[in-house]
């Protein structure tokens, strides 16, 4: 697939100014300028955030009302239920509030809807069960902003509701006691992109201030908050960066048996955002996807390392099962796309019987990544179909569903990811209309763009300068790993690894040898020969082999030099 290479345009004078003022490498300064981090305070905050960089939680909408009601619940030891989501963000949110409240003497319950039976968010059956068990107050985390009917039902049953959420509200807000969501139109909080667990953290911060607690009584939960924040793929800037940067330090030395067991299972050499995104998050999410959401919460709440290890073994099994199911669905979806020649379409809509609807979202992501087209996967159970979709930059998936909504039972999501349900007899009509919408949007003309931070040469490729880039971590949404271009290199050796899947190169610049690895680029071994001159773009990283540390380029694309 052809990819478009684009350079950031930056002010070299500003790069030099930041290099000298902060005593950092020109490589690092260039990336900061490319990210528009140029002011003295901005640079300092980005490189060295501290506990003093959190915003005032009382600037959040309805925070005062929520705090007053919760303090009353603590004083009266009222029966309080925390209602959350089954993903990492939801599980960590419940964990933070449960542990904080327990330490304040308030025993709380936790309700997590089963993804396979109940789906996302508040539902009336759950609320009825909560009321029957004698609860008087419900606090939602990572959900609730669209639960107008369900909140009204809770009040009918004699309960009050506090909503903490980070999703977009509908035109009508639920009639809750307090709604803490910075996506509200009347929001005055200076940052509106916190994860659900970030909002939960701001709630305990506000309670800590109200109860005159030492700040360590809420800051100590930043390891859990950090895991939920990074896992939810929110922009790692502003307050999210403070949470992630400080939180990762606590993850490294965590006192949570559950987090420690997860780190051991992930077996990463160092603790960074990749450890969370690819080591911890998939194991936690596998619980919800496979219908065992409570095990994830039990893992975070246990104080016993033996129990934590046992639960982690379960999570490993769920994750392995999820991977097997995912692989099977992916292969079947690819087979359908190829046999039916759907890859010529502007969008990919594929359905099949008995696909696991807890897993199809991941497969849709992989399909979209492979073909660079919007994709929707539908699993049918009888006459009912449930689906997940993923998009490409420039195509609004949610708007497309709005335009084809007459064929759908339910749908929701945002520009890049959606969930939906429809009847089987509407599938072909929906598929046809969705393809027309994608065709009108000219999705075939959209190509993936790789933004290049800087052209590099020999003086940039030093262990010291490459290690300096670690100050930019944690990497994630809105703070991507910097990408560089190295031109006119001669291929000294080339081979495919892992049964042709990956590409390994040694490249020569004069008398200097540079190692490069290209994951999922194995086919390039058939396109290039020893002696070819190439330009490569990729990420600079360090690699240790036989005890010797060296710089390696993790390639993202390769072209012949001209």
- DSSP labels, 263-314: HHHHT-SS-SHHIIIIIIHHHHHHHHHTT-HHHHHHHHH---HHHHHHHHHH
Residue ranges covered by each domain of the chain: 4-48+450-560, 55-218, 340-445
Q: Looking at the domain 55-218, which fold is it?
A: inorganic pyrophosphatase (n-terminal core) (3.90.1640)
Q: Is the dihedral of CA 327, 537, 552, 37 positive or negative?
A: negative
> Residue 117 — φ and ψ, nearest 5°?
-100, -40
How far is the C-alpha of 104 from the C-alpha of 224, rounded, in Å? 18
Q: Is the dihedral of CA 258, 259, 261, 266 positive or negative?
A: positive
Residue 560 preceded by cis peptide, ω within 30: no
Within 368-497, strands assigned E span: 375-381, 384-390, 410-413, 417-423, 449-452, 454-455, 484-497
Please check whether residue 81 is in contact with residue 111, taking contact to mean a CB–CB distance below 8 angstroms: yes
CATH classification code of 4-48+450-560? 2.40.50.460
Token output for 424: 């089987």
- Smallest Cα–Cα separation from 453: which of 2, 4, 1, 5? 5
Strand order in the sheet with 417-423: 348-353, 375-381, 384-390, 417-423, 410-413
Q: How far is CA 114 from CA 205, 324, 416, 527, in A?
A: 29, 21, 24, 48
Token output for 355: 């696909």
Task: Write down the pLDDT at residue 1.
Answer: 65
How far is the C-alpha of 242 from the C-alpha of 247, rounded, in Å? 8
How far is the C-alpha of 11 from the C-alpha of 19, rounded, in Å? 12
Burial class (CB in 10 A: 0-12, 13-18, 19+), 322: buried
pLDDT tens digits, residue range 98-131?
Answer: 999 999 999 899 999 988 888 788 999 999 999 9
Task: Write down the pLDDT at residue 285.
Answer: 93
Task: Write down the pLDDT at residue 170.
Answer: 81
Tokens 């969501």 -> residue: 181
CATH classification code of 340-445? 3.10.310.30
Instruction: Give the SS3 label for residue 453.
Output: coil
How far is the C-alpha of 55 from the C-alpha of 206, rounded, in Å? 11
Enumerate the H helices of 381-483 as residue ranges.
397-403, 427-440, 463-468
- Smallest Cα–Cα separation from 184: which of 169, 171, 195, 199? 169
Instruction: Give the SS3 label for residue 52.
Output: helix
Q: How far is CA 88 from CA 227, 255, 300, in A?
A: 8, 19, 11
- β-strands 384-390, 375-381 pairing: antiparallel
Task: Write down the pLDDT at residue 213.
Answer: 97
> Residue 537 — φ and ψ, nearest 5°?
-120, 145
Token output for 279: 């080591």
Please check whether residue 558 is in contact with residue 532, taking contact to mean a CB–CB distance below 8 angstroms: no
Per-residue pLDDT for the chain (562 aa), expressed as one digit of tens each? 678 999 998 789 999 999 999 999 889 999 999 999 999 999 999 999 999 999 999 999 999 999 999 999 999 999 999 999 999 999 999 999 999 999 999 989 999 998 888 878 899 999 999 999 999 999 999 999 989 999 999 999 999 999 999 988 888 999 999 999 999 999 999 999 999 999 999 999 999 999 999 999 999 999 999 999 999 989 999 999 999 999 999 999 999 999 999 999 999 888 999 999 999 999 999 999 899 999 999 999 999 999 999 999 999 999 999 999 999 999 999 999 999 999 899 999 999 998 998 899 999 999 999 999 999 999 999 999 999 999 999 999 989 999 999 999 988 777 888 889 999 999 999 999 999 999 999 988 888 899 999 998 877 788 888 888 999 999 998 899 999 999 999 999 999 998 889 999 999 988 888 899 999 899 999 999 999 999 999 999 888 878 888 889 999 999 999 8
Any residues with CB less than 8 A from the CB of 432 and at least 6 apart, and which? Answer: none
End-to-end CA distance of the chain: 20
How far is the C-alpha of 449 from the C-alpha of 556, rounded, in Å? 11
CA 65 to chain centre: 30
Any residues with CB less than 8 A from the CB of 346 and at least 6 apart, and which? Answer: 373, 374, 435, 438, 439, 441, 442, 443, 444
Please check whether residue 198 is in contact with residue 225, taking contact to mean a CB–CB distance below 8 angstroms: yes
Task: Write down the pLDDT at residue 100.
Answer: 98
């Amino acid at each position: 697939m052809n990819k478009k290479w684009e350079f950031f345009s930056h002010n070299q004078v500003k790069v030099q100014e930041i290099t000298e003022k902060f005593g950092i490498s020109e490589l690092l300064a260039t990336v900061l300028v490319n990210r528009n981090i140029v002011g003295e305070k901005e640079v300092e905050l980005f490189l060295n955030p501290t506990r003093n960089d959190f915003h005032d939680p009382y600037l959040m909408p309805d925070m005062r009302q929520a705090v007053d009601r919760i303090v009353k619940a603590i004083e009266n030891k009222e029966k309080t239920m925390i209602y959350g989501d089954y993903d990492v963000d939801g599980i960590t949110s419940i964990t933070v509030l449960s542990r904080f409240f327990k330490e304040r003497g308030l025993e709380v319950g936790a309700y997590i809807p089963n993804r396979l039976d109940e789906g996302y968010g508040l539902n009336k059956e759950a609320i009825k069960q909560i009321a029957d068990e004698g609860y008087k107050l419900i606090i939602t985390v990572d959900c609730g902003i669209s639960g107008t009917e369900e909140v009204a039902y809770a009040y009918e049953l004699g309960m009050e509701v506090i909503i903490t959420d980070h999703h977009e509200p509908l035109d009508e807000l639920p009639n809750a006691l307090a709604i803490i969501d910075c996506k509200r139109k009347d929001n005055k909080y200076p940052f509106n992109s916190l994860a659900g667990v970030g909002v939960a953290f701001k709630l305990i911060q506000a309670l800590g201030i109200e109860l005159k607690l030492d700040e360590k009584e809420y800051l100590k939960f930043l390891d859990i908050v950090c895991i939920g924040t990074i896992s939810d793929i929110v922009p790692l800037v502003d307050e999210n960066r403070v949470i992630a940067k400080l939180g990762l330090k606590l993850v490294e030395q965590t006192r949570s048996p559950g987090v420690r067991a997860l780190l051991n299972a992930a077996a990463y050499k160092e603790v960074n955002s990749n450890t969370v995104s690819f080591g911890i998050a998939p194991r936690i999410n596998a619980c919800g996807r496979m219908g065992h959401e409570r095990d994830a919460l039990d893992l975070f709440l246990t104080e016993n390392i033996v129990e934590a290890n046992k639960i982690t073994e379960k999570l490993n099994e769920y994750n392995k099962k999820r991977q097997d199911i995912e692989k099977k669905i992916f292969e079947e979806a690819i087979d359908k796309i190829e046999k039916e020649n759907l890859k010529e379409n502007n969008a990919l809509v594929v359905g099949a019987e008995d696909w696991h609807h807890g897993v199809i979202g991941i497969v849709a992501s992989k399909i979209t990544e492979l073909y660079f087209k919007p994709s929707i996967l539908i699993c049918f159970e009888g006459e009912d179909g449930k689906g997940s979709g993923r998009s490409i930059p420039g195509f609004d998936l949610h708007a497309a569903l709005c335009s084809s909504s007459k064929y759908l039972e339910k749908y929701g999501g945002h520009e890049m990811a959606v969930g939906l349900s429809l009847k089987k007899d509407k599938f072909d009509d929906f598929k046809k209309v969705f393809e027309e919408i994608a065709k009108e949007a000219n999705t075939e003309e959209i190509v993936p763009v790789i933004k290049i931070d800087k052209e590099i040469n020999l003086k940039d490729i030093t262990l010291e300068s490459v290690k300096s880039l670690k100050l930019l971590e944690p990497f994630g949404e809105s703070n991507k790993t910097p990408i560089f271009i190295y031109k006119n290199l001669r291929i000294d050796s080339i081979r495919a690894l892992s049964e042709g899947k990956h590409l390994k190169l040694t490249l020569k610049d004069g008398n200097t040898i540079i190692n490069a690895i290209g994951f999922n680029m194995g086919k390039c071994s058939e396109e290039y020969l020893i002696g070819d001159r190439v330009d490569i773009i990729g990420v600079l990283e360090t690699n240790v082999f036989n005890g010797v540390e060296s710089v390696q380029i993790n390639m993202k694309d390769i072209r012949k030099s001209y």
